[in-house]
Amino acid sequence: MVDINWNFIGPLSSNECGNIVRTAHTIHAIGDKEIAEHLSISGDGSKEETNVFIQINLTGDEAMGGIECANWESNDVQRSYLMKTAQDVEKLPNIKLAGLMTAVPPTYSSAESRAIFQRTRAILDSVNLCLKDGPLKRLSMGMSSDFEIAIEEGASDVRIGSAIFKH
């Protein structure tokens, strides 16, 4: 039997958490602490911890999902909220905080995408300063249209389904 490492990509509702956490090895889009709590409770300890990425939104576009961080550099409320969320998720059983995830709209230029990826990496560095279990090392950023730039800017995980499946 082939050992497949399943990744779940996309928004989650609380009623989906049980099935997803028992199947996926990694979940890329935790947009709030409540979903992380549902995943933690749904995990039954029968497999290793599920890796999760906290999704951050640097575009200000609500359709992109994630924790609002568009004004991260100048907004204490946004910084505090993300830091507290990371600290809270880090403590939950059955899941393991792996890093941060972001996405950029397909209409963004290469330069705009690069700026978002650079900011995401800087935010990860800041989040690492407040965590007890050691630094997070993973960045899930970049999709089929911009994954090369994301890799150049430090992505460890890219989401390239459209390129593979020609969608």
**Domains of the chain listed by start with CATH number:** 7-140 (3.20.20.10)
> For residue 86, how many other CB atoms are within 10 A of its CB?
23
The answer to which of 12-16, 66-70, 123-127, 162-166 has the lowest mean pLDDT is 162-166
The answer to which of 18-22, 84-88, 110-114 has the lowest mean pLDDT is 18-22
Q: Alpha carbon of 114 to those of 31, 106, 148: distances in Å?
A: 22, 13, 10
pLDDT of the residue at 53: 97
* High-pLDDT (> 90) share of the chain, %: 69
pLDDT band at residue 148 using 50, 70 and 90 as cut-offs = very high
Q: What is the pTM of this model?
A: 0.92
3-state percent breakdown (helix, strand, coil) of the chain, nearest 5: 40, 20, 40
